[in-house]
Chains A and B, each alone.
Chain A
Amino acid sequence: MNVSEFASPPEKRPESYGRNARYNQKRCFQVAQGFFKDAVRRARERNDRLKELERRLESPEVLLRREQLWGHSGKLEARYLRFLRTKEQLSNYSVVKTIGKGYFGEVKLVRKIQDGRVYALKRLFKSEMISKEQLPRVRAERDALAESDSEWVTKLFTTFQDNTSLYMLMEFCPGGDLMAILIKFQIFSEDITRFYAAEIVNAIEAIHNLGFIHRDIKPDNILLDRGGHIKLADFGLSKSFRKDHDSCYYQELLQRPTSQMSRLGNRNSVNIDAIQLTVSNRAQINEWRRSRRLMAYSSVGTPDYIAPELFYDQGYSFEIDWWSLGTIIYECLVGWPPFASENPQDTYRKIVNWQHTLFFPDDVQLSHNSVHLIRCMINSPEHRLGRNGVAEIKNHGFFAGVDFTTLRRIRAPFEPPLTSEVDTSCFPVDDLPQTEDPAPSLAGDDDSPTPEMFLPFIGYTFKRFEKSYS
């Protein structure tokens, strides 16, 4: 026996390969990496579920239902395995209605053809994502939702993609959003405001605990489920994180000549120039309200709820979400957000000058606690309530008597009056064109996936184990 040595490794020459091989190299690398990451996570979760089942099987009160429990658990696992095996594609779903439109895509109410279940399907156009450098945001949203198992966050069941679009199959919240009921009722009582504010506190706490900052908490991102309880949505789709909405964009906006409505150069003119949104000029408010929906669908979006530090390059942290909550509480009690203006540019100016522009109209009766809470939240980051943790918010006098642990079990003030599981009466669908838009494409009509359209989205695909999902 004469075993000689191993073949000696040649010098690596990755550059000698063609463009497609190098593209496939990246793809292969990421897919293999992603496979093991997902497989390990799934094995761990499966094991946790099995342990939980075994614990339940030991309990004496299930003695007669042991076979049922075992079989049920086996079937759930099997359904999930079939779901993993099935190729997800758009044709697996039939569209009921378009329920939302944003700059980067749209949201449709869909029915899974195979089992008739109803979901919200969010579609994001790849070409827009790439040209507007939205990729990290999309990734962030997918990661936030995929990792979250919170009742305060809209559930993401699966993600898939084709050549033009990314798809997120999400839980359908039939109650519409907080913006819709604010438009409808204009103003909330302090009790009702307290309910929504407390639920939003829990929701923000849940995503902060996952390590995510939402950065775009606003009434259109606060959805209402069947029972009228809130769920946070839209991590990263939000327009406020577009490249042209970053700090440079804000800076540039702020340097533009002032509009006729607002000349902030002169501090004394603030109260004159700021739109005097009081009950006396309802017409103006109504105009503002009508334009809200349109604003939400536009590429610009509304900056009304954004904390000032997001406009600057100085960095920001978790407390920016508490500023947004402060503005929402203000809007619920007063009827419009604190820095509402006729155009986004003026809103920006007011937000960065919040010390001088935040005021409470005389003709709206507000309790001391509510004004105090709002002033503690609409505040500089270093003094803002919530910077030391959520407890200091929950302990504020405004929330006296609220049991934050049982909120979801009490009846919500507005329960959506639904007639079917595809009832979209809580959505302003009349404003939306129901025709099918072709996805904007970078490369014309070519159907073959180009590396540019595929590579950045590898690892995007996700499938959740969900008891209610089949």
Chain B
Amino acid sequence: MANLFSGFSHSQASQSSASLASKLPPLPASPSLAQSIGMMGTADEALNAYQLPKPLPIWLNPAYARHIVKGNFMTLSARPKTVEEGEWVAHQVVEHYRNLWNFVRVIYEKEEDGKTLCNATTCPRMSAGANHSYTWLNSRFEPIELPAFEYITLMQRWISGKIDDTKMFPTEASGVSFSHNAQITTTALLNGPDEWVGKRSGFPHEFFGICQTIFLQMFRVYAHLYWAHFTEPFYHLNLEKQLNSCFSHFVLTATALDLLKPQELEPMQPLIDLWAANGTFPPESKAFAAANLKVGQRLLQLGGMA
């Protein structure tokens, strides 16, 4: 399914950096897979194009796509006006990583018999359904397939290596800055290669790119949790609403701050469609814009909730 992407142009990658975008003319949002297909046909055709297993996964049933919180999550990820962008991105990365690990712990920690719920037998690949499996790069930069447990171990080591590195995520109270506001601050804003997200606050040049990669890795783990572990163990342990709330907050943050591109959401696209349709994603959110509303409404219909 990944080769479906080849037909689209995603030249707006530079949009991910807001400070660069500020000097660029506004570009139309990149069409997501869902929208492009949605534009072409009916909801059922679009849903079919996702090549989902039949019957549909339980987490796409609107009855199990609910939350532990009500209201507009967007306020939780919207950058406060005075806060410098890099500072806010760093905060969100750390919070979402803590949230994700809260769920990973359940499948990752050893039981008294020494077994983990996610292991090489249950999950021989880092997969998100039959059509997606993620590879890790070995020391020769070759992609290798790994059991999900190993993949998550490497992911955890890599992300915490970044987050705990005070050169990458500075923690010195004295190094802070604030956001530029054309009506108030007179500090000239440099644009171009000498300016980057977080520069004023002491974050390194590669900071934003690293954060995008962290979000991509975290997304893959969420996708694996839904595709491989939603029932075993989260549904059985009555944690599905908690998982839904943290993941929908994650998607809202990732899209709002350009940490994930709409097309990177692919294996979870139908759930995103559903959340756009059931009101989890407010219409003004970028997550909503990345969804195919028709598919979401069709899923609501199938679940008897439309």
Stretch at the interface among B16-24, B27-35, B126-134, B231-239: B231-239
Closest Cβ of chain B to A181, distance in Å, is 35
Stretch at the interface among B99-107, B136-144, B149-157, B205-213: B99-107
User: Roughly how many angstroms separate A25 CA and B76 CA in the complex, as a whole number?
Assistant: 25
Residue of chain A at shortest CB distance from B69: A36
Closest Cβ of chain B to A372, distance in Å, is 52
Residue of chain A at shortest CB distance from B47: A3
Residue of chain A at shortest CB distance from B185: A67
Query: Can you list 8 pairs linking A and B with CB atoms under 8 Å apart?
Result: A8-B58, A25-B238, A28-B237, A43-B75, A50-B82, A67-B186, A70-B184, A74-B179
Assuming A3-B54, A21-B117, A39-B76, what are 18 further A-B pairs, CB within 8 angstroms? Answer: A1-B44, A6-B60, A6-B303, A10-B231, A28-B105, A28-B237, A40-B69, A46-B80, A50-B81, A71-B82, A72-B178, A74-B82, A75-B178, A78-B84, A81-B90, A85-B169, A114-B173, A115-B174
Residue of chain B at shortest CB distance from A43: B75
Q: In the bound complex, do residue A77 and residue B90 qualify as a contact, i.e. CB atoms below 8 Å apart?
A: no
Is B195 an interface residue when CB atoms closer than 8 A count as contact? no
Contact residues in A for B228 (Cβ distance below 8 Å)? none
Q: Mark A1-36, 1 if CB is under 8 A from B, else 0.
A: 101111111101110111111101101110111011
Closest Cβ of chain A to B76, distance in Å, is 5
Closest Cβ of chain A to B298, distance in Å, is 8
Q: In the bound complex, do residue A33 and residue B117 qualify as a contact, i.e. CB atoms below 8 Å apart?
A: no
User: Roughly how many angstroms separate A47 CA and B80 CA in the complex, as a whole number?
Assistant: 8
Residue of chain A at shortest CB distance from B201: A78
Contact residues in A for B58 (Cβ distance below 8 Å)? 6-9
User: Roughly how many angstroms separate A33 CA and B245 CA in the complex, as a whole number?
Assistant: 10
Q: In the bound complex, do residue B113 and residue A18 qualify as a contact, i.e. CB atoms below 8 Å apart?
A: yes
Contact residues in A for B117 (Cβ distance below 8 Å)? 21
User: Roughly how many angstroms separate A3 CA and B43 CA in the complex, as a whole number?
Assistant: 11
Is A86 an interface residue when CB atoms closer than 8 A count as contact? yes
Q: In the bound complex, do residue B185 and residue A28 qualify as a contact, i.e. CB atoms below 8 Å apart?
A: no
Contact residues in A for B102 (Cβ distance below 8 Å)? 27-28, 31-32, 35
Question: Which residues from 55 to 96 on chain B have a C-beta closer than 8 Å to any C-beta of chain A?
Answer: 55-58, 60-61, 64, 68-69, 75-76, 80-84, 87-88, 90-91, 94-95
Is B306 an interface residue when CB atoms closer than 8 A count as contact? no
Q: In the bound complex, do residue B239 and residue A25 qualify as a contact, i.e. CB atoms below 8 Å apart?
A: yes
Is A84 an interface residue when CB atoms closer than 8 A count as contact? yes
Q: In the bound complex, do residue A20 and residue B90 qualify as a contact, i.e. CB atoms below 8 Å apart?
A: no
Contact residues in B for A4 (Cβ distance below 8 Å)? 54-56
Q: In the bound complex, do residue A1 and residue B91 qualify as a contact, i.e. CB atoms below 8 Å apart?
A: no
Which B residues are closer than 8 A to A by beta carbons?
42, 44-45, 47-48, 54-58, 60-61, 64, 68-69, 75-76, 80-84, 87-88, 90-91, 94-95, 98-99, 102-103, 105-106, 109-113, 117, 169-174, 176-179, 181, 184-186, 201, 231, 233, 235-239, 242, 245-246, 298, 302-303
User: Roughly how many angstroms separate A7 CA and B56 CA in the complex, as a whole number?
Assistant: 6
Q: In the bound complex, do residue A28 and residue B239 qualify as a contact, i.e. CB atoms below 8 Å apart?
A: yes
Is A384 an interface residue when CB atoms closer than 8 A count as contact? no
Closest Cβ of chain B to A42, distance in Å, is 8
User: Roughly how many angstroms separate A33 CA and B54 CA in the complex, as a whole number?
Assistant: 33
Q: In the bound complex, do residue A85 and residue B91 qualify as a contact, i.e. CB atoms below 8 Å apart?
A: yes
Contact residues in A for B298 (Cβ distance below 8 Å)? 3
Contact residues in A for B47 (Cβ distance below 8 Å)? 1, 3
Residue of chain B at shortest CB distance from A74: B178
Q: In the bound complex, do residue B105 and residue A27 qualify as a contact, i.e. CB atoms below 8 Å apart?
A: yes
Closest Cβ of chain A to B301, distance in Å, is 10
Return the contact of B99 from the options A7, A35, A70 (Cβ within 8 A): A35
Q: In the bound complex, do residue A114 and residue B172 qualify as a contact, i.e. CB atoms below 8 Å apart?
A: yes
Closest Cβ of chain B to A38, distance in Å, is 10
Return the contact of A33 from the options B87, B169, B242 (Cβ within 8 A): B242
Contact residues in A for B233 (Cβ distance below 8 Å)? 17, 21, 25
Closest Cβ of chain A to B3, distance in Å, is 22
Return the contact of A36 from the options B68, B113, B302 (Cβ within 8 A): B68
Is A353 an interface residue when CB atoms closer than 8 A count as contact? no
Q: What's the dominant secondary structure at chain A's contact region?
A: helix
Is A402 an interface residue when CB atoms closer than 8 A count as contact? no
Q: In the bound complex, do residue B87 and residue A81 qualify as a contact, i.e. CB atoms below 8 Å apart?
A: yes
Is A57 an interface residue when CB atoms closer than 8 A count as contact? yes
Q: In the bound complex, do residue B176 and residue A82 qualify as a contact, i.e. CB atoms below 8 Å apart?
A: yes
Is A83 an interface residue when CB atoms closer than 8 A count as contact? yes
Q: In the bound complex, do residue A74 and residue B246 qualify as a contact, i.e. CB atoms below 8 Å apart?
A: no
Is A66 an interface residue when CB atoms closer than 8 A count as contact? yes
Contact residues in B for A83 (Cβ distance below 8 Å)? 173
User: Roughly how many angstroms separate A79 CA and B91 CA in the complex, as a whole number?
Assistant: 11
Contact residues in B for A79 (Cβ distance below 8 Å)? 173, 176
User: Roughly how many angstroms separate A67 CA and B178 CA in the complex, as a whole number?
Assistant: 10
User: Roughly how many angstroms separate A470 CA and B174 CA in the complex, as a whole number?
Assistant: 8
Residue of chain A at shortest CB distance from B93: A85
Q: In the bound complex, do residue B172 and residue A24 qualify as a contact, i.e. CB atoms below 8 Å apart?
A: no
Contact residues in B for A14 (Cβ distance below 8 Å)? 236-238
Q: In the bound complex, do residue B184 and residue A20 qualify as a contact, i.e. CB atoms below 8 Å apart?
A: no
Contact residues in B for A22 (Cβ distance below 8 Å)? 237
Closest Cβ of chain B to A468, distance in Å, is 12
Closest Cβ of chain A to B51, distance in Å, is 12
Q: In the bound complex, do residue B185 and residue A71 qualify as a contact, i.e. CB atoms below 8 Å apart?
A: yes
Is A391 an interface residue when CB atoms closer than 8 A count as contact? no
Q: In the bound complex, do residue B173 and residue A20 qualify as a contact, i.e. CB atoms below 8 Å apart?
A: no
Closest Cβ of chain B to A104, distance in Å, is 29
Contact residues in A for B184 (Cβ distance below 8 Å)? 57, 66-67, 70
Is A186 an interface residue when CB atoms closer than 8 A count as contact? no
Closest Cβ of chain B to A83, distance in Å, is 7
Closest Cβ of chain A to B179, distance in Å, is 6
Closest Cβ of chain B to A155, distance in Å, is 17
Contact residues in B for A35 (Cβ distance below 8 Å)? 95, 98-99, 102, 246
Q: In the bound complex, do residue B55 and residue A8 qualify as a contact, i.e. CB atoms below 8 Å apart?
A: yes
Is A53 an interface residue when CB atoms closer than 8 A count as contact? yes
Q: In the bound complex, do residue A78 and residue B48 qualify as a contact, i.e. CB atoms below 8 Å apart?
A: no
Contact residues in A for B185 (Cβ distance below 8 Å)? 67, 70-71
Is A278 an interface residue when CB atoms closer than 8 A count as contact? no
Given the known interface contacts A8-B55, A70-B82, A85-B94, the answer about A19 and B171 at a Cβ–Cβ threshold of 8 Å is no
Q: In the bound complex, do residue A6 and residue B178 qualify as a contact, i.e. CB atoms below 8 Å apart?
A: no
Contact residues in B for A70 (Cβ distance below 8 Å)? 82, 178, 181, 184-185
Return the contact of A5 from the options B55, B90, B91, B169 (Cβ within 8 A): B55
